[in-house]
Amino acid sequence: MDFYKLSKTVLFQGATPEETEQMLSCLKAGKRKYKKEEMIYRVGEVVSCVGVVLSGSVLIENDDIWGNRSVLERAGEGEIFAETYASIPDQKMLVNVIAAEDTEILFLNVGKMLHLCSNSCIFHNKLIKNLLQVSAQKNLALSRRIFNTSSKSIRGRLLSYLSNQAVLCNSKEFDIPFNRQQLADYLSVDRSALSKELGKMSKEGLIYVKKSHFRLLSVQELFEEES
């Protein structure tokens, strides 16, 4: 286990590698590797552990009874997932968590995390604060998704999403964390229709796109098209 690298993650931020190692022994930590598209958590499960992505990435997805899939979130290396469900006793998962690629996960018992241990770890209070901060950031991410899917048009949803990404990256050129199908699922639109709209925007000289790389070429005209 690379405790130095783990101490730099959002959950253990502010801890030394030695403190991180001590905390893991208190939190009943365990690791597991998953193959691409392997299910990690599924709808209906009751979970007690938060997952920390050590390598790879996971997708948090919602599938309705008609088979429609929506990507709610992606968690990459160093990020966490399932913290809300693990913090509420007997709360069933309403989403699936799936490995987006070959992935290694560190599982931590949230019950142990929320109650001070008998060893009185110096870093324990900071760990709880970090967990609350991550939860707040997740709420903001879900709010952004609501904004990004509020438009009735595919172009409107793309504009909202690309605008947010440009702000977050502080640049008109950026990489997004989704492939084409995942972006379509995130925006709740048909993949072929999404690809067609991206092609139109590219031909109109509004954007440059290559796989997951985007560059906004003419921001003013981009938003004038939607209005």
Question: Which pTM value belongs to this model?
Answer: 0.78
Residue 26: the pLDDT is 77
Given CA atoms 182, 184, 190, 194 in this order, what sign does their dihedral have?
negative
Residue 53: the pLDDT is 96
Tell me 82's DSSP state: -
Write out the two tokens for 221. Answer: 């005209």
pLDDT under 50: residue ranges of the chain? none
Long-range pairs, 197-206, Cβ under 8 A, ≥24 = 197/154, 197/155, 197/158, 198/158, 201/155, 201/158, 201/225
Residue 101: the pLDDT is 96
Given CA atoms 211, 214, 217, 220 in this order, what sign does their dihedral have?
positive
Neighbouring C-beta atoms of residue 220, cutoff 10 Å: 8
Pick from 75, 95, 70, 77: which is nearest to 85 by CA?
Answer: 95
